């Protein structure tokens, strides 16, 4: 199988959408002749023309809002928000418009669009260029939320996202951009709401998305040396959320840790834990635990970031706590 990087998968996924569907076009800042600040649209202007690959002023509200208007008229916009932090500048278009058009119009209007963005820590961009904000969007009915972790899923989930009759928030962690993985040719569309078991284990289940999946796998390796068998589930999408795959896993492991880089307070792990407790209480031998980041802005300095961010050390610690191998935090 072909090995490609995560960012190559993003690029291929978008190019394939442009080739296969005339309704698809891309809007974003620096996506044209510059090729995207992370090279997600490299060479696209030459291949598809600046009509369909549209450089934008730095104006997120109008970029996302015009995307909604175009989608309503039958187009399939892909809108790149350069840093996830900047979605805050365009929230009205996403929350008040895109998410609600279909419902409040009695299904006369639809806003099928893919809002691509990237975020996350590890590159020392500071507090306003490093956030992980996908949890915000679980709270707004009408949006799908997709967080891929490997190149194959980028392509498979993107295909489904472009064809979905609802707006999709497609979230990439930039620390994954240079990671590689095998891809089939072609990649089959992956349905939203279907998680996958990345590693089989017997003692504890860890559910995660995106970069946290890789950190959970690293933690699982570490714990394997201590004789602990960790199952790792990649949910792949947060809306819809595959609670079933977690419940099935818990019927074997009976212990759950939910890991995400997003701030733990108010993060999506709380939603998953609540549903697991409601539907699978009898399966639980220990309180479900969350491994999220501490509630501070993301600091610049390495030492400060390491003190607050969710990473493989924190995930390993929570796994141990779940097994009563370490003290449960106050």
Partner 1 sequence: MTEGAGLISSVTSPPVSDRGDGSPERDDDLHGLNDAQLLDIFKTMYTIRRFEVTMERAHLAGDLYGPFHSSMGQEAIPAGVCAALRTDDVVTSTHRGHGHAIAKGAELGPICAELWGRATGYCGGKGGSMHIVSTEHGFIGQSPIIGGSGLLATGAALSFDLTGDPRVAVAFMGDGAVGQGVFHETLNLAAIWRLPAVFVVENNGYAHSFRADQMQLNPDIASRAEGYGMPGVVVDGIDVFSVYAAAEAAVARARAGDGPTLIEAKCYRWRGHNLGDAEHLYRERQEVEEARGDDPLQRFRQAVSRRLEPAALAGVEAAVDKEIDDAARFAAESPSADPRTALEGSY
Q: CA 324 to CA 302: how far, in whole Å?
A: 30
85 Cα distance to chain centroid = 14
DSSP of 69-123: HHHHTT-EEEEEESSGGGGGGGHIIIIIIITTHHHHTTTS-----EEEEEE-SSS
State both tokens at 303.
């030492």
The CB-side HSE value for 154 (13 A sphere, CA atoms) comes to 33
Under the binding rule (CB under 8 A), the answer on residue 112 touching partner 1 is no
Q: CA 278 to CA 94: how far, in whole Å?
A: 30
Of 15, 37, 75, 247, the one binding partner 1 (CB under 8 A) is: 75
Under the binding rule (CB under 8 A), the answer on residue 179 touching partner 1 is no
Is 105 or 128 the residue whose CB approaches partner 1 more closely?
105
Is 143 or 259 the residue whose CB approaches partner 1 more closely?
143
Catalytic residue, chosen from 129, 166, 214, 254, is 129
Single out the segment in contact with partner 1 by CB under 8 A; choices: 67-75, 183-191, 247-255, 289-297.
67-75
Q: CA 222 to CA 276: how far, in whole Å?
A: 26
Under the binding rule (CB under 8 A), the answer on residue 166 touching partner 1 is yes
Interacting residues with partner 1 between 134 and 153 (CB under 8 A) = 141-144
Of 21, 46, 47, 105, the one binding partner 1 (CB under 8 A) is: 105
Single out the segment in contact with partner 1 by CB under 8 A; choices: 40-48, 50-58, 181-189, 285-293.
50-58
Under the binding rule (CB under 8 A), the answer on residue 103 touching partner 1 is yes
CB 97 within 8 A of CB 109: no
Question: Which residues are identified as catalytic?
Answer: 129
Residues that bind partner 1 (CB under 8 A): 25, 51-52, 54, 56-57, 59, 61-63, 65-75, 92-93, 96-97, 101-109, 141-144, 166, 239
């Amino acid at each position: 199988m072909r090995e490609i990087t995560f960012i190559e998968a993003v690029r291929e996924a978008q190019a394939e959408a442009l080739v296969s569907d005339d309704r698809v076009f891309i809007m974003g800042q620096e996506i044209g002749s510059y090729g995207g600040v992370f090279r997600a649209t490299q060479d696209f202007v030459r291949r598809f023309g600046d009509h369909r690959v549209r450089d934008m002023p730095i104006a997120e509200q109008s970029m996302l809002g015009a995307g909604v208007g175009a989608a309503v008229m039958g187009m399939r916009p892909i809108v790149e928000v350069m840093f996830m932090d900047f979605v805050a500048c365009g929230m009205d278009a996403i929350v008040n418009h895109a998410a609600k058009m279909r419902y409040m119009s009695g299904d006369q209007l639809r806003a099928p669009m893919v809002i691509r963005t990237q975020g996350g820590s590890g590159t020392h961009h500071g507090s306003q260029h490093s956030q992980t904000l996908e949890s915000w969007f679980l709270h707004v009915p009408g949006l799908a939320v997709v967080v891929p972790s490997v190149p194959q899923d980028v392509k498979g989930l993107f295909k489904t996202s472009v064809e979905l009759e609802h707006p999709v928030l497609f979230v990439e962690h930039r620390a994954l951009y240079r990671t590689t993985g095998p891809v089939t040719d072609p990649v089959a569309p992956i349905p939203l709401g279907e998680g996958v078991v990345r590693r089989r284990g017997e003692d504890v289940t860890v559910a995660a998305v995106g970069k946290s999946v890789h950190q959970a796998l690293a933690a699982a390796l570490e714990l394997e040396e201590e004789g602990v068998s960790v199952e790792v589930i990649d949910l792949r999408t947060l809306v819809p959320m595959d609670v079933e795959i977690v419940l099935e896993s818990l019927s074997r492991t009976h212990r759950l840790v939910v890991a995400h880089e997003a701030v733990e307070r108010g993060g999506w792990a709380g939603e998953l834990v609540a549903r697991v407790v409601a539907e699978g209480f009898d399966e639980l031998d220990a309180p479900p635990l969350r491994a999220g980041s501490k509630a501070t802005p993301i600091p610049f300095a390495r030492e400060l970031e390491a003190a607050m961010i969710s990473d493989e050390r924190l995930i390993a610690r929570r796994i141990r706590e779940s097994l009563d191998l370490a003290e449960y935090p106050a």
